[in-house]
Amino acid sequence: MDLFLALALQIVYGVSNLALISLGLAIIFGMMRVINLAHGEFIMLGGYTVIVATSHGVNLWFAMLVLAPLVVGLVGVIVERVLIRHLYGRMIDTLLATWGLSLFLIGAVTTIFGPQTTTTISPPIGAVQIGGYGSSGYELFLILITLAAVAGVYAVLRLTKLGLVARATMQRPDMASALGVSTSQVYMLTFGFGSAVAGLAGGLLAPITGVVPTVGAIYIAKAFITVISGGAAILAGTLSASSLLGVVNGVISYATGPTLGEVALLLTAIVIIRIMPQGITGRFFRKSL
Amino acid sequence: MGAETGAGRLWPLGALAVAFMALAPQVLQLFTIINLTTAIALALLGLSLGLIWGYGGILCFGQTVFFGLGAYAYAVAAQNFGDTSTAVLVAIAVGAAFAALLGYFMFFGRVSDVYLGAITLTVTLVFFSLIRRTSGPEYKIGDALLGGFNGTSAPPLTLPWDSAAILFPNQLFYVAMSALTLSYFGCVWLTRSRFGRVCAAVRENETRAELLGYDARLYKLGLFTIGGGLAGLAGVLMANGVGRVTPDLFGLPYAAQAIIWVIVGGRGTLIGPILGAFGIFYLNSWLGSQQLVNLNVVLGLVLIVFVLLLPQGLAPTAMDLAARAMRGRGRARRRRRPRRALAAEPAE
């Protein structure tokens, strides 16, 4: 029973981890039809923000929950103005340009901070006992914060005026613009919002994974495949895809080890895309957010 | 797109390749020649991607999967059979067969665009992590240990009729250069054949091509399979140039670079990706020899600048400029008025 509970917790953590790293990418893809291949590097930048801030004596919680999203959100706004703005409607070109951006960011961060970081941050919450098994309290915290982030995104998109305007702009930019909405600003803010969520993920994961300039590569493949197999609906897509893939990954990892778990995750995603070329939400939960 | 060079303009290119092949070993040092063989292998990989992306509109992010499979198939077959000519054929066959399998899976499922990119990228990453895991004596095919992270050794090519006569680096260079040249002209012929023209039609407008009675899926599958075989051959050259095959062949860096070569060289041309591969290869080794600028910064900027400012790539832009210069000389005086007339036409 204890084993089962510990395993279940591990799987739920895997699912929420997948959802956390994909959410920012899903917002940008779902709202703007832009695939940001520099997403992994945005997560990496979030991690570096936390490292730099804490080494200057900033409180860790403040750095993770406020500074990381703020800084990366700002980076996102700048990137949108300089790069993405010129490429709307050209999906493949945005993909390629953001891939270039990803290489550029890896190189730039390596130049500034060096290929390895010496500073590590330890998770601020200790272990929790479940029967005979120890579990990381910080992982429990991450599960909760992922839920909070999903709820937060839902609230912003559904309940605020900004969210309404943003969804209107994505559906009918011409009509929104005729009604006096500055679509260009909405695009900029949406991209910044998605980036901020990526920064939050990076900040939160920094104590667990450690931070090196190339850490983004670990995330991007998983996030990309989760978002694509989830389809266009931001929250329903991310949640359904990361649940499915996270469970597959967790079970296979438990049975055979982490590498095969990863492979099983990727293969499952390929099968999903083959069966449902528009992703899960292209077939189910169509009207959902 | 689809810049077609007339037959008259092709033979200088062939002459240039032959001259280069004859002269390079006389002039260049051995080290440079060995390096060149690797560069040629990468150029062939670029050509294979340029063929399927530029002429079939198939954006394959994981062309490296056929490249890596070809290299591994060659190494394993050569270690088992001792005869490298069979191993080369096996490598091409494995590349093509896997492309056919993956292509069937994708095209007949109507997977396209970004989704196709996602699948191919994932497949190459799957191979990357799987093959990295194969260290240890239990992972072997016949006599060949796969060797996990460190990879396995690739026996050098031998003469087809005498398996004891190992080719020297210079001879290897001749083989690689001939393979690249022949593949290039093969691809030119292919894109001008009826098959190639239908592929271009599918690229331009899949629905229209289907309404005209062509099965787009079959044509894409055919082109993809040929691209896979070419990438497999590139893997053979790579294995010979480096002397080992490692999981890195499947990794993200090569996958990303292949895309960059095509973008920089020019989509819709066949010579562009080859030149792009050579250019980036030498940019790489030049940047690797100095500490001033990080390699990734430069590659990233190159990719961004080309997508934003020169989306056609170098080869078509150069051809455009050349064509304009030729025309400009003839009718410089009459230029202004027709242009204004053009501008007055309604935009589409």
B304 and A224 in contact by Cβ < 8 A?
Answer: no
* Residue A233, min C-alpha distance to chain B (Å): 16
Of A18 and B329, the structure prediction assigns the larger pLDDT to A18
Domain locations in chain A as residue ranges: 2-283
Task: Evaluate the CA torsion angle B234, B240, B241, B243 in order and state its sign.
Answer: positive
Chain B residue numbers with beta carbons less than 8 Å from the beta carbon of A224 are 118, 121
Question: Would you state the pLDDT for residue B329?
Answer: 64
CB contact under 8 A, A100 and B118: no
| Whether residue B293 has pLDDT greater than 90 | no
Count of beta carbons in the 10 Å neighbourhood of residue A41: 31
Chain A nearest CA to B305, separation (Å): 8
pLDDT band at A118 (very low <50, low <70, confident <90, very high): low
Q: Would you tell me the crossing angle of helices A183-209 and A161-171 to the nearest 10 degrees?
A: 110
**pLDDT, position A256:** 86
Query: Quick check: B296 contacting A, CB < 8 Å?
Result: yes
Q: Please give the biggest Cα pair distance in chain B.
A: 76
Quick one: pLDDT band at residue A15, thresholds 50, 70, 90?
very high
- Which pLDDT belongs to residue B8? 52
Using the structure block, give the residue that is written with the tokens 């699948």. B119
CATH 1.10.3470 fits A2-283, yes or no: yes
Tens digit of each residue's pLDDT (9 = 90 or more) over A62-111: 999 999 999 999 999 999 999 999 998 888 889 889 989 998 999 999 98
Confidence at A119, pLDDT banded by 50, 70, 90: low
Chain A: residue whose CA lies nearest to B107: A274
Name which residue leads in pLDDT, B256 or A149.
A149
DSSP code at position A56: T
How many inter-chain contacts (A to B, CB under 8 Å) are there?
A: 110
Q: Is B130 on the interface with A (CB under 8 A)?
A: yes
What residues are paired with A134 via a beta bridge? A129
- Using the Cβ of B301 and the Cβ atoms of chain A, whether some distance falls under 8 Å is answered with yes
Note whether A91 contacts B59, CB cutoff 8 Å.
Answer: no
Distance CA B107, CA B227 (A): 15
Average pLDDT over residues B77-95: 92
Burial grade of B118 (CB within 10 A; 0-12, 13-18, 19 or more) = buried
Residue-averaged pLDDT of chain B: 86
Place of tokens 């260079």: B173
Quote the pLDDT of residue A153.
93
Decide if pLDDT at B198 tops 90.
yes
Asked whether B314 and A114 are in contact (CB, 8 A), the reply is no
pLDDT at B327: 78
Q: How far apart are CA B279 and CA B73, in angstroms?
A: 28
Is B343 a residue whose pLDDT tops 50?
no
The number of angstroms, rounded, from the C-alpha of A71 to the middle of its chain's C-alpha atoms is: 15
The residue with greater pLDDT, B274 or B289, is B274
The angle subtended at Cα A74 by Cα A72 and Cα A78, nearest 5°, is 115
Structural contact between residues A73 and A140, judged by C-beta atoms closer than 8 angstroms: no
Query: Between A83, A263, A273, which is nearest B118 by CB?
Result: A273
Measured between beta carbons, which residues in chain A are less than 8 angstroms from residue B115?
A: 228, 273, 277
pLDDT of residue B336: 46
Residue type, A217: A
Distance of CA B340 to CAs B323, B325, B343, B344, B346, Å? 20, 19, 5, 6, 12
Residue B346 scores a pLDDT above 70: no
- Tell me which residues of chain B, numbers 170 to 199, contact chain A at a CB-CB cutoff of 8 Å: none
Positive or negative: CA dihedral B173, B175, B178, B183: negative
How many angstroms separate the CA of residue A103 from the nearest CA in chain B? 5
Q: For residues B229-239, give the mean pLDDT.
A: 96
More confident residue, B118 or B197: B197
Summarised one tens digit per residue, pLDDT across range A176-219 is: 999 999 999 999 999 999 999 999 999 999 988 888 888 888 78
**Candidates A95, A263, A273; nearest CB to B111:** A273
> How confident is the model at residue B194, as a pLDDT?
95
Q: Please, which pLDDT band fits residue A142 given cuts at 50, 70 and 90?
A: very high
Give the pLDDT of residue B161.
81
Length of chain B: 348
What ipTM goes with this model? 0.85
What's the average model confidence in pLDDT over B328-347?
47
Which residues from chain B sit within 8 angstroms of residue A269, using beta carbons? 118, 122
Beta bridge partners of A135: A128
With CA atoms as reference, the chain A residue closest to B261 would be A96
Residue B306 has pLDDT above 50, yes or no: yes
Structural domain spans, chain B: 7-329
Euclidean distance between CA atoms B82 and B159, whole angstroms: 12
Indicate if the pLDDT at residue B113 is higher than 80: no
Chain A nearest-CA distance from B153, in A, is 24
Q: Which residue of B has its CA nearest to A270?
A: B119
Q: Specify the residue for token string 């990954």.
A: A249
Distances (CA, A) of A273 to A269, B11, B121: 6, 45, 13
Give pLDDT, residue B93: 97
In this predicted structure, the answer to whether residue A13 has a pLDDT above a threshold of 70 is: yes
Which DSSP string corresponds to B39-105? HHHHHHHHHHHHHHHHHH----TTTHHHHHHHHHHHHHHHHHHS-HHHHHHHHHHHHHHHHHHHHHH
Whether residue A190 contacts residue A166, with contact meaning beta carbons closer than 8 Å, is answered with yes
